[in-house]
Structure 1
């Protein structure tokens, strides 16, 4: 697909379109233009050419890149970090302490993704390049990184994954949240609708931790939320409200399914069907036609969310 020019978000931050899964408005890489050039998220390896083109469009040089930050190690956020790093000789990768070893040795990361994506893995994520430990840095809860006239502060925010942090930017009073407080669907803005749904992908989804992380971010009093999927929201309180509204409905879909069977595949299918019905009914009520492009992305998200919910409710049932 043809690259799109990066978008200036203000406060010295640009957004590069990564065309994740060959879909526009799905996943992005944030460029922080400061004394030490920094990016947040790399998406998967097939997106690296778009990041490189984005740098060219911004008049930036890869050799000037100092920091590559990934909010967590799921491949649609960090899968391309090793490949990109090969072209950025002066950069280091910053990751959550729980994700450090998996970027150094991605064997388990690859195996887990193959279990979810099967035969599509190579097309979606290959290659996954190990990152030398001397180019990896772990940032723990509350630690900071000063780059020019701004400070980035790292906050442990589990719920979507245990290896997840969010990064507060002092200059914009914004926060890069990865998937912790959900997914934003900018495709609906032309319909005067902003939709934020939780991301419950396998296999570390924890609704109580997700709500706790949401509260922690809310207490920071941020003005902007930079989503991994996708773009920036300047209505943080609406984000929190929708996540708190939708998350119980997502969990309910899995719990309804697990009462009917112990078979994982059946739980997953029933959960997916229920989530599809809930979200489509909501959008239909808002006047969103069936041919709207948002449904293509929603289908992908709901498939993965249903897997995570099925995994969560099955584990929970086993402990009762």
Structure 2
């Protein structure tokens, strides 16, 4: 099993790489070393072995885990929650109210992902373990959760990527765990001195207007940090948010033209990826850089979500926003 040591972000927050898609720096689980040991995000079930190994390296026992928080129920963020919970007898899963039923009965979630990933589904996501309702708690917008004497987390509903999405504010670091709401951070490009952030527009609840509203709300928090589901932390939240605002506008403009031409999501993904190549070439990143392994996957998924949005707008005869 490929694994590596947890990444220490400060004296109380660690990040364990989940090797989603067997790729490093794709997804991760955050560990908050507080009186009530808390994990934010689990990734899919194949990532759970990495989380367990990371907890062991940090010296934490599984029965010490008190809370497992998932920002939303997409399988690359919460698919492994049920499997991890089986090994954490004292833990409770914290979830958005719209997501609870999907973790209690994940068949619909699994069917949707299977339609996207086909024969690869089992390797990427199985097993998906249902979570008993009595081991979940819901958090409404503005709700809090005390995990330490000096640390009370706050939950903010942040739709746009999905309607069952919240973000978690950590007052100790003045940071926000944003799941997919603020998009994707590319660690391999950061390592080259190129901070790079793209919006996540995956199906099937992507709404650009709601996403922009969530970003505006996040901007007003005047954060010092954003913690990403994909992947890691930035201490440049203003730059990161500005980039996703700009790229969302670019993606929607490319998609509007592509949709009018009647092209499919695969061609749209190619056009979006080409716009990214032009930008990264200008920053000195070659076309064969390894980050394109992740970017190719991301643009395929993002294109699916944008096409789905356009189809819904056309069906409802609403203007594209």
Q: Please state which band the TM-score falls in when normalised by the shorter chain.
A: over 0.9
For structure 1, the residue ranges without an aligned partner over 5 or more in a row are none
Q: For residue 239 of structure 1, what is the aligned residue in structure 2?
A: 240
| Cα-to-partner distance string for 1:22-61 (whole Å, 9 max, x where unaligned) | 0001101000000000000000000000000001000000
The equivalent of 1:134 in structure 2 is 134
Moved beyond 6 Å, runs of 4+: none
Contact 1:11/1:172 (CA < 8 Å) preserved in 2?
no
What's the RMSD between the two structures over aligned residues? 0.9
CA distance in 2, matches of 1:215, 1:231: 21
In the alignment, the residues of structure 1 paired with residue 257 and residue 164 of structure 2 have an alpha-carbon distance, to the nearest angstrom, of 29
Report Cα offsets for 1:84-108 as digits up to 9, x if no partner: 0000000010010000000000011
Q: Distance in 1 between matches of 2:167 and 2:74?
A: 14
* CA deviation profile, 1:56-84 (whole Å, cap 9, x unmatched): 00000000000000000000000000000
Aligned 1:7-18 pairs, distance under 5 A: 7-18=7-18
Indicate the residue corresponding to 2:257 in structure 1.
256
* Aligned counterparts of 1:99 and 1:174: Cα–Cα separation in 2: 23
In 2, Cα distance between the equivalents of 1:194 and 1:253?
23
1:5-25 deviation digits (Å, cap 9, x = unpaired): 001101410000111110001
- State the partner residue of 2:114: 114
Distance 1:269 1:17 in 2: 29
* Alignment correspondent of 2:277: 280
Count of residue pairs the alignment pairs up = 316
Q: Matches of residues 61-100 of structure 1 in structure 2 within 5 Å?
A: 61-100=61-100
CA distance in 2: counterparts of 1:267 and 1:181, whole angstroms: 26
User: 8 Å contact 1:258–1:314 — kept in the other structure?
Assistant: no
Q: Normalising by structure 1, report the TM-score.
A: 0.97
Asked whether the 8 Å contact 1:64–1:90 carries over to 2, the reply is yes
Distance 1:290 1:277 in 2: 10
Distance in 2 between residues matched to 1:23 and 1:160, nearest whole Å: 23
Give 1:220 shift. 1.1
The separation in 1 between residues aligned to 2:126 and 2:90, in whole angstroms, is 24
- Partners of 2:38 and 2:6 lie apart in 1 by 15
